[in-house]
Homo-oligomer: A and B are copies of this chain.
């Protein structure tokens, strides 16, 4: 019965990252048929966008999803990015934890798991190899290559099966993967909605999508500018831990700690170095390797007491109000839209981020439930739609904490609005490997609240103005109906002619003569009447309940 420790450890083994995720594919977000396919779309689109933008190219993606059988699909995804050099292709698609995005730069992908996760899923469900065509510039030549390979999970590497030269016309990558146990759906969490939201968050991108029925959707650009390329920025002193300093010190080629600091951190000058020496009493001329933990801690402590300029924001490129509005207009055709972009701030002391929010009202805003439109929240991180795990997300939490009644939205759930929130950061604090929710850091929640309250107030203003216009119109109607009657009666009594009253009346009711003379003066009211009364809350206005009864 009882076993010795040595026996218990007979089975001790070490897994490669690929083996680990083969056993735990749900940690890559691959759970459920619909979600699995959405995650595949997400990973491939994300990768194409990042690559194209880094190369200064306006992204254009073609996706072709063929249904082979029930829950069995062939996906072909091609982009117009810079391509992947031959030596890196299998690393990108078969080695987990490998990538070019581990820098301190704002990019959609961060983890070196995306593409290889898709290949893993394809292989696990169909046994088919991946087929990749890559066309890229090398020197002044355009090279093209076509590879067919599998993933060797025991080695966390690719196994080449076939290689051909490819006669390329322009740069780009085309991936072909087969999947079983996945399913294409039009639901909120399905692949189609994912593309739609992607376009909202990326109005500069074009996606051509052929769905399994053969229908071709063309999502055109609402904007024609490649987003400014975010620059890699050095970490800000306030975001650095003692562990980071020790880690830097261990892996640097600098000879002195002071030069390590000035070269590895932003906002760090010689003047700052002297300040640190003054506060801590540590001689920063010492060699990096000689830095002790306690000293690193003291330095971090000194950072926290010092005033630094905010992190450089060249690393953060928000979508921008105008583009958010364009993107939402293109897809939602709303009656009203507004967006706001907050100034960069930091969480955990020094990781910079920007929150952007938009709100669209009317038109196709909101999600369609049984033919009525309800409020919908679209969460984005670095322009990437977050589709799952919304419960634990900082964005959801912040929105829930707002008292929408104060913004005139008495019953938010049943209002046809789409609320858009995007977090831009070099380091989005995702809660899970699936990158579907943002950790509820207090600073992030605060910023999301501020941004959405601002667009909320603007929507409130619009709805108020709309209601006021309606009430004004109603008041005018009273004048318009009764004044002429009184005039006529008075004229009759006085046995004189009815005077020319129209011009004066138009002045009083502030309406054009044309309107007064009958060109559908009350069009506005009829349209709005019902939704207004059901969504606007008049907490701050004097109510005149009789007005509406007159009509």
| Chain A interfacial positions (CB closer than 8 Å to B) | 1-6, 8-17, 19-20, 22-24, 26-27, 31, 51, 54-57, 82-85, 88, 91, 95, 97-100, 102-103, 111-112, 123-128, 136-138, 153-154, 171, 229, 241-243, 246-247, 251, 293-294, 296-297, 389, 391-392, 429-434, 439
Report whether A4 and B246 are in contact in the complex, using a CB–CB cutoff of 8 Å: no
Q: How far is the CA of A297 from the CA of B180 in the complex (A)?
A: 11
Contact (A9, B85) CB under 8 Å given A102-B15, A430-B26: yes
Q: How far does the Cβ of A315 sit from chain B's closest Cβ, in whole Å?
A: 15
A6, A83, A391 — most chain B CB neighbours (10 Å): A6
Contact (A4, B127) CB under 8 Å given A14-B98, A431-B26, A432-B433: no
Pick the contact of A9 from B88, B97, B391 — CB < 8 Å? Answer: B88
Q: How far does the Cβ of A240 sit from chain B's closest Cβ, in whole Å?
A: 12
Q: How far is the CA of A9 from the CA of B82 in the complex (A)?
A: 11
Q: How far is the CA of A99 from the CA of B9 in the complex (A)?
A: 8
Smallest CB-CB separation from A15: which chain B residue? B97
Contact (A124, B432) CB under 8 Å given A12-B100, A55-B3: no
Pick the contact of A55 from B5, B136, B229 — CB < 8 Å? Answer: B5
Report whether A293 and B100 are in contact in the complex, using a CB–CB cutoff of 8 Å: no
Report whether B102 and A23 are in contact in the complex, using a CB–CB cutoff of 8 Å: yes
Residues of B with C-beta under 8 A to A12: 88, 91, 98-100
Instruction: Name 28 interchain pairs, CB-CB below 8 A, sorted by A.
Output: A1-B56, A2-B55, A2-B57, A3-B82, A4-B82, A5-B55, A5-B82, A5-B83, A6-B137, A8-B55, A9-B84, A14-B91, A14-B97, A15-B102, A17-B17, A17-B97, A24-B111, A24-B430, A26-B429, A26-B432, A27-B430, A31-B429, A123-B243, A125-B241, A126-B293, A127-B243, A127-B296, A128-B293
Q: How far is the CA of A13 from the CA of B100 in the complex (A)?
A: 6
Smallest CB-CB separation from A31: which chain B residue? B439
Q: How far does the Cβ of A232 sit from chain B's closest Cβ, in whole Å?
A: 9
